[in-house]
Structure 1
Amino acid sequence: MLMSFPPSKSDATVKFDGVTVEFPVYSAHGRSFKRSILQFTTGGRIGLSSNQRVVISALNNVSLVAEHGERIGLIGHNGAGKSTILRAIAGVYEPVHGTISICGRVASLIDLTLGMDMEATGYENIRVRSLLLGLTPAEIDARIDEIGAVSELGDFLSMPIRTYSSGMLLRLAFAISTSIDPDVLLMDEWISAGDASFAKKAHHRLMELLGRTGILFIATHSDAVIRNYCTRVIWLDKGTVRADGRPEDIVREYSEWMNSGGAVQPSEGVS
């Protein structure tokens, strides 16, 4: 169950209480399928539901609390559950067990071009994409000129975006997506946009966005992102929280585990 409450940056919180997210595999044949691949999976746990249907437990009994001011990095191998946590917070995935409680407005930068219409103009896409990000029509009217200026697309904003190069489309999507004022911000890897001249502006704008954000969740494979932007790290392994704590401690534990081929256990006190 997902419960959301009105936005308030100073009181922004995210709470997972015994959250399990499962995906049924309808094409699999029960036990024979499970036996054949259970030992080889690197993603979520494979099991059987009460009606003997094969299910993937992308998250398994996950509990955590995030509070205002925290910048949380999610680490782990591919399939560990990082993106599933982001999508569960965004309301894309609903838990089969447990509850997710969120105080504040959630904004996602997982897919910058979500909802964009290739036949519509740049200006029209600013309005549609901004609505999907949770801005009101009045907020969009107040920001549309600033978004256009950040994109540096000029007269092209009056043209259908199918006429844009991939770099132009990314500039527009980035300018729109970073115009929000979220209580909880979700990112899947750090965003970089455009050529060298635009990248500097993009970095500055992204840092301004983080300054307006109550809580950040970012799934990443980059140690540099963890060191530079995170105050806390959660290490996920097969849909469970393996360790949760200070970035330097958890990154060290994770690196040792990776280098040992998964043989090293977390130290005592890291939970």
Structure 2
Amino acid sequence: MSSAVQCDGVWKRYGRQPRGIKELLVGRHKADDSRYSREWALRDINFAVERGSAFGIVGHNGTGKSTLLSLLLGTIPPDRGNIRMHGRVASMLELGAGFHPELTGRENIFLYGSILGMSLTEIRNNLDKIIGFSELDGAIDNQIRTYSSGMIARLGFSTIAHTPVDILLIDEVLAVGDSHFQEKCGQYLQDFKARQGTLVIVSHDMEALAEMCDSGICLNMGHVLVQGSISNVLSEYEAVMTMSRREPKQICKE
């Protein structure tokens, strides 16, 4: 199978600028290379994700998972290395982040769809499907400011689910709404894979990753600690977290 995502020797440095006159004059005190103060957010990241598969990314907080997703999405560039995304990309990083509170749900579908790169024709052709999937028919012409956070997430997921993309980047958005709607979301992601769509998922939900993903990586201090089958990656991550709980400082050392 061909790769949908290719990450070759990628490095990303934390953007640090002097924060005041003192630092400009005398410089910054050199911090230890710890979880939240290291120079490089990511170091020499290499992996490939096959088309039609799901790839999980795990690691403790501050290890570079969200930075990696931002690099894959293209919102920030790598300092070294190359990233190749073969296909149209969308992200489920913060559902409904592009919604305007004074617009109705229906109007926000057009707004959010445009942000996601859909044409006006594509949005119109999928409008009824988006509304139907969200199950918000009775509230779709109300202003978004009257929606609950769960309703906003539903509409955001539904809009993305009907965007014609090849690669979906997901950051912890695996459970939206009540149990019934969560099942719909899970089934959509499985169907997306079956249509040769590619998923890249960051999550702390080990059970969901084990069920959804085929392969993955475990990040530690900005580098790949282990990669391969999702079962091996999750086992290594559990071992790292167990060690971290026993020896809190150990995880922050090379």
Q: Do they fold alike, i.e. is TM over 0.5?
A: yes
Q: Once the 2 structures are TM-superposed, how far is the Cα of residue 232 of structure 1 from its aligned partner? A: 0.6
Indicate the residue corresponding to 1:127 in structure 2: 110
Indicate the residue corresponding to 1:178 in structure 2: 161
Aligned mates of 1:200, 1:67 — CA distance in 2: 25
Q: Once the 2 structures are TM-superposed, how far is the Cα of residue 244 of structure 1 from its aligned partner? A: 0.7
Residue 148 of structure 1 is aligned with which of 124, 131, 142?
131
Indicate the residue corresponding to 2:16 in structure 1: 25
Q: Once the 2 structures are TM-superposed, how far is the Cα of residue 44 of structure 1 from its aligned partner? A: 6.6
2:30 aligned with 1:34 = yes
Name the amino acid aligned to 1:247: I
Residue 258 of structure 1 is aligned with which of 221, 235, 241?
241
Greater shift, 206-215 or 78-87, is seen at: 206-215
Question: Residues 146 and 62 from structure 1, CA distance in 2 versus in 1: closer, same or farther, beyond 3 angstroms?
Answer: same
* CA offsets 1:75-95 (integer angstroms, 9 cap, x no match): 111111111111101001101
Instruction: Please list every run of 5 or more consecutive structure 2 residues that lacks an aligned counterpart in the other structure.
Output: none
Name the amino acid aligned to 1:21: K
Aligned mates of 2:86, 2:182 — CA distance in 1: 33
Aligned mates of 2:47, 2:164 — CA distance in 1: 24
Check whether the contact 1:110–1:187 (CA below 8 A) recurs between aligned residues: yes
1:95-244 correspondence to structure 2 within 5 Å: 95-244=78-227
Residue 45 of structure 1 is aligned with which of 28, 35, 38?
38
Secondary structure at the residue paired with 1:45? Answer: coil
* CA offsets 1:17-67 (integer angstroms, 9 cap, x no match): 2211123222354865324xx15x324732xxxxxxxxxx21112122222
Greater shift, 21-30 or 227-236, is seen at: 21-30
Aligned mates of 2:150, 2:203 — CA distance in 1: 23
Q: Once the 2 structures are TM-superposed, how far is the Cα of residue 167 of structure 1 from its aligned partner? A: 2.7
Check whether the contact 1:188–1:219 (CA below 8 A) recurs between aligned residues: yes
Check whether the contact 1:21–1:93 (CA below 8 A) recurs between aligned residues: no
Aligned mates of 2:157, 2:85 — CA distance in 1: 25
2:42 aligned with 1:59 = yes
Question: Residues 201 and 256 from structure 1, CA distance in 2 versus in 1: closer, same or farther, beyond 3 angstroms?
Answer: closer
Secondary structure at the residue paired with 2:61? Answer: coil
Aligned mates of 2:36, 2:18 — CA distance in 1: 18
Indicate the residue corresponding to 1:3 in structure 2: none
Indicate the residue corresponding to 1:87 in structure 2: 70
Secondary structure at the residue paired with 2:49? Answer: strand
Question: Residues 222 and 164 from structure 1, CA distance in 2 versus in 1: closer, same or farther, beyond 3 angstroms?
Answer: closer
Q: Once the 2 structures are TM-superposed, how far is the Cα of residue 224 of structure 1 from its aligned partner? A: 0.4
Aligned mates of 1:178, 1:153 — CA distance in 2: 15
Secondary structure at the residue paired with 1:63? Answer: strand
Quick one: percent identity of the two aligned structures?
33
Name the amino acid aligned to 2:29: F
Instruction: Please list every run of 5 or more consecutive structure 1 residues that lacks an aligned counterpart in the other structure.
Output: 1-9, 47-56, 265-271
Secondary structure at the residue paired with 1:16? Answer: strand
Aligned mates of 1:178, 1:117 — CA distance in 2: 19
Provide TM-score, normalisation by structure 1. 0.80
Check whether the contact 1:105–1:183 (CA below 8 A) recurs between aligned residues: yes
